Amino acid sequence: MSLENITEDMKRMLLFWMSFMQTNEKLLQESQIKPQEPENLYPQVLVEDEETQILVQYSRGRTVDLRRVSKCMYYVHGVKEEEVCIQLDADHRMDFRIKDCRGDILDEGSWENISMANITVPTGGLVKFIKEE
């Protein structure tokens, strides 16, 4: 598709994801890609360094496990179903910010003293989780 023929929404989406890729270029380009569960056609893929993880899920009904996040995790939601189950470390506060595929903030908040939560993330959306000590 020609860039001259895309809609404004498509342009915003492209700019948002290109900016995300530039911001996280080192992690995305230099870290080992860890595809998981080959027997299920790799429903999630992870890259990580000492402080940041990027997790992409392509299969519905999965849980996002934040118990081992060191500082920051970006969760990319490549699933049509919008409800996402989150597993948390109840001993730490976890802040979150949910964005749609164009980068618009849809929700933000934090959890404390709980071990499970559900959030709504649109297809192609991104959630940034920050672990507070």
Q: What's the average model confidence in pLDDT over 65-93?
A: 95
Residue 51 in this model has a pLDDT that exceeds 80 = yes
- Residue 68 DSSP label: T
Higher pLDDT, 66 or 61: 66
Q: What's the average model confidence in pLDDT over 81-90?
A: 95
Q: Is 130 left (phi over 0), alpha (psi -120 to 50) or beta?
A: beta
Residue 133 in this model has a pLDDT that exceeds 80 = no
- 9 contacts 102 by C-beta, under 8 angstroms: yes
Residue 37 in this model has a pLDDT that exceeds 80 = yes
Q: Is 61 left (phi over 0), alpha (psi -120 to 50) or beta?
A: left
- 49 contacts 42 by C-beta, under 8 angstroms: no
- Residue 38 DSSP label: G
Domain coordinates in residue numbering, the chain: 1-129
Residue 21 in this model has a pLDDT that exceeds 90 = yes
